[in-house]
């Protein structure tokens, strides 16, 4: 049996697919910001002088890193409402679950960036009479960002892919909408091909933006 390719039916579904794409972008954006922030806090905690705080951070990271995103999502979607009697909004559930999940990765990336900075940089700053906060802001943090930028960008791309897992709780993100269209039209090959192209374009665009950001943060002036 030969398959005859036909994409024309897709024009009738531009609105729901567009809405799905917007939802994917919103979810990914929120998760990136919240995951980064949580990861930053966990990274700071991991360098605390207090042993218990360091251990708590390590436990947090290990726990979240070793559980699949899907499991965390189901936990929040099914288990927590049972325990609390409070049904969450799908978007919020996905946001919280994926933010926690990716924060573990952000934490590791930021920690790695921190450890890559030569300890002599602290001493250089201290010897000038700068405060520890000042040294961190003006000397250490820019170098962490510089070292970690490629991995951070990579994680943001990873988040876009992870966000599709939200389709399993019927959050109408791009993949979920794609599936509905495919089911209605009975044309999975064209529908998923088109959706793969759109996803690829989105991720390429993200890669391109993150490259520009990397160059900007990383001291573009260094490139001669």
- Which residue in 122, 112, 145 sits closest to 42, CA to CA? 112
Q: How far is CA 146 from CA 57, 125, 130, 143, 159, in A?
A: 24, 18, 21, 5, 21
Task: Name the residue nearer to other proteins (CB basis): 100 or 147.
Answer: 147
Give which of 41, 39, 170 is closest to 94, Cα–Cα: 170
Q: How far is the CB of 92 from other proteins (least distance, A)?
A: 38
Closest to other proteins by CB, 48 or 200: 48
**Given the rule CB under 8 A, which residues bind other proteins?**
118, 120-121, 123-132, 134, 138-139, 142-143, 146, 219, 221-222, 224
Which residue number, 41 or 117, has a Cβ lying nearer to other proteins? 117
**Other CB atoms closer than 10 Å to residue 108's CB: what's the count?**
18
| Closer residue to other proteins (CB): 78 or 138 | 138
Q: Are 171 and 114 in contact (CB under 8 A)?
A: no
Closest distance to other proteins from the beta carbon of 219 (Å) = 5
CB 153 within 8 A of CB 213: yes
Taking the C-alpha atoms of residue 43 and residue 31, their distance in angstroms, rounded to an integer, is 17
CB atoms within 10 A of CB 207: 14
Shortest Å, Cβ 217 to other proteins: 9
With respect to other proteins, which residue has the nearer C-beta, 85 or 129?
129
Q: How far apart are CA 48 and CA 184, in angstroms?
A: 55
Q: How far is the CB of 142 from other proteins (least distance, A)?
A: 5
Q: How far is the CB of 220 from other proteins (least distance, A)?
A: 11
């Amino acid at each position: 049996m030969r398959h005859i390719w036909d994409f024309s039916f897709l024009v009738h579904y531009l609105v729901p697919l567009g809405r799905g794409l917007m939802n994917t972008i919103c979810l990914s954006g929120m998760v990136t910001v919240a995951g980064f922030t949580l990861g930053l806090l966990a990274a700071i905690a991991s360098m605390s002088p207090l042993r218990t705080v360091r251990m708590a951070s390590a436990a947090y990271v290990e726990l979240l890193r070793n559980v699949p995103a899907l499991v965390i999502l189901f936990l929040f979607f099914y288990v927590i409402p049972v325990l609390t009697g409070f049904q969450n909004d799908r978007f919020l559930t996905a946001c919280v679950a994926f933010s926690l999940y990716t924060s573990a990765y952000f934490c590791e990336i930021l920690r790695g960036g921190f450890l890559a900075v030569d300890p002599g940089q602290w001493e250089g700053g201290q010897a000038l009479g700068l405060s520890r906060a000042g040294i961190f802001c003006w000397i250490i943090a820019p170098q962490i960002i510089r070292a970690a930028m490629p991995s951070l960008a990579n994680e943001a791309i990873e988040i876009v892919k992870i966000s599709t897992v939200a389709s399993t709780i019927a959050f109408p993100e791009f993949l979920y909408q794609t599936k509905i269209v495919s089911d209605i039209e009975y044309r999975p090959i064209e529908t998923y091909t088109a959706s793969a192209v759109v996803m690829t374009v989105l991720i390429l665009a993200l890669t391109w933006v993150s490259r520009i950001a990397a160059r900007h943060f990383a001291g573009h002036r260094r490139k001669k």
